[in-house]
Every structure is written in structure tokens, then in C-alpha cells.
């Protein structure tokens, strides 16, 4: 049922273990990046929108005070 004699043989995979496990590692890192990257981008976009809203609010507020004088 289990092709390998021991867990050590499973990790080595008849001499191909380094290639197999590095491929798994690269795939996992890429998938993690595909999940995390949009979250970082969303955070930066939210910060930019918040800054723009603050600028616009300050601009409207200063324009309103200038009109009163």
C-alpha cells in the first residue's frame, strides 16, 4: 500500500526529493502570495482614498470659510 519503506525514503523519493519538495514549496509560496498581495493592495487603496477624502473635506471647509469673509 505504501510505496516507501520509511518516512526518510518518502522524503528522499528515490533521489528526486529535492526537486519534488522544492516544487511544492514554490507552489505554496506562489499561492500564499496570490492571497496576501491583494490584501496589501486593498490596504494601500483604502489609505489613498482616506487621504483624498480628508483633502477634499479640508478644501471644502476652507472654501466655505473664505466665502464668509
Where do runs of H (alpha helix) occur along 1-69?
7-12, 17-68
Torsion of CA 15, 17, 18, 21, to 10 degrees: 170
Looking at residue 61, its pLDDT comes to 87
Domain boundaries, the chain: 7-68
CA distance 29 to 25: 6
Looking at residue 46, its pLDDT comes to 97
**Model confidence pLDDT, tens digit, residues 7-65:** 898 888 889 999 999 999 999 999 999 999 999 999 999 999 999 999 999 999 888 77
Torsion of CA 37, 39, 41, 44, to 10 degrees: -140
Amino acid at each position: 500500500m505504501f510505496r516507501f519503506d520509511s518516512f526518510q525514503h518518502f522524503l528522499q523519493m528515490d533521489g528526486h526529493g529535492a526537486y519534488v519538495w522544492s516544487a511544492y514549496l514554490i507552489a505554496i509560496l506562489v499561492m500564499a502570495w496570490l492571497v496576501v498581495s491583494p490584501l496589501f493592495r486593498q490596504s494601500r487603496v483604502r489609505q489613498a482614498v482616506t487621504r483624498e477624502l480628508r483633502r477634499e473635506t479640508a478644501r471644502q471647509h476652507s472654501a466655505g470659510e473664505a466665502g464668509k469673509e
